[in-house]
Amino acid sequence: MTFRSLFQSCLIALILFGATAPAFAETVWLSDELWVNVRTGPGGEYRSLKTINSGTRMEILEENEDAGYIRVRTENGLEGWLPKRYTQPDPTGSLQAENLQAEKEQLQQQLEALDEKYTNLLADKGDVNGELESLRTNNAELTKELNRIKAISENAINLDDQYQELAEEHARVKNELDVLQAENTSLRERSDNQMLYAGGILVFIGIVLGVILPRLTSRRRKDGWA
């Protein structure tokens, strides 16, 4: 094979490849209400690999414009040839309906989730209001207790003042009692001394009378006899 023949063969191969290969990967879907055989080659005479139904998403790998076939790969990894006329660039109506239904269900779930969040927020608000009311009640009770403690403190201060006054009065009374006790002791001592003095006088008088009276009696008797 000469160089010229080799060059011509390569050029023909490039032309054929350009005719069969797409410029870029394209995604297509199988048309509505169709069941199409995926074959090993670009024609009905080739062996069927598998039958796919409408709405199947595929990627175009290669195109044979002369045969009107395209080589595709499905999302499941199946590769083969099928007529291009059975495909369309957009999802089928049923698939779009399914997608819309799925989106609707998703939106419904989001709506239910938002509704649940709203309900939880209302419940949390109720809990917060309950806690706020409880705090207000506790605050009122604490204020009442504080006022009671203040009153007790004031009473304690008054009691302390009264205690100081009573302590001073007690000290004064005790001093007076000590003075009275001292005076009483002094009076007792003076009374005892006076009693001793009076007793001495009485003893002296008794002695005098005991000595003088017999003499006077004896003298009177003598005078009577005379």
Full domain range(s) for residue 76: 3-90
Q: Annotate 160-187 with three-state secondary structure.
A: HHHHHHHHHHHHHHHHHHHHHHHHHHHH
Q: Is residue 45 part of a domain?
A: yes
Residue with tokens 């008054």: 158
Secondary structure letter of residue 72 according to DSSP: E
Statement: residue 194 has pLDDT above 50: yes
Residue 73 CB-half CA count within 13 A: 6
Q: Is residue 63 part of a domain?
A: yes
Residues in the chain: 226
Q: Is residue 72 part of a domain?
A: yes
Q: What CATH number is attached to the domain comprising 17?
A: 2.30.30.40
Which phi-psi region, left, alpha or beta, contains residue 24 (left: φ > 0; alpha: ψ -120 to 50)? beta
Q: What is the mean pLDDT of residues 75-96?
A: 85
Q: What is the mean pLDDT of residues 78-90?
A: 93
Confidence grade of residue 168 (pLDDT, cut at 50, 70, 90):
confident
Q: Is residue 74 part of a domain?
A: yes
Predicted TM-score of the model (pTM): 0.35
- Number of structural domains, the chain? 1
Q: Is residue 14 part of a domain?
A: yes
pLDDT by residue (tens digit) across 46-83?
A: 999 999 988 899 999 999 999 999 999 999 999 999 99
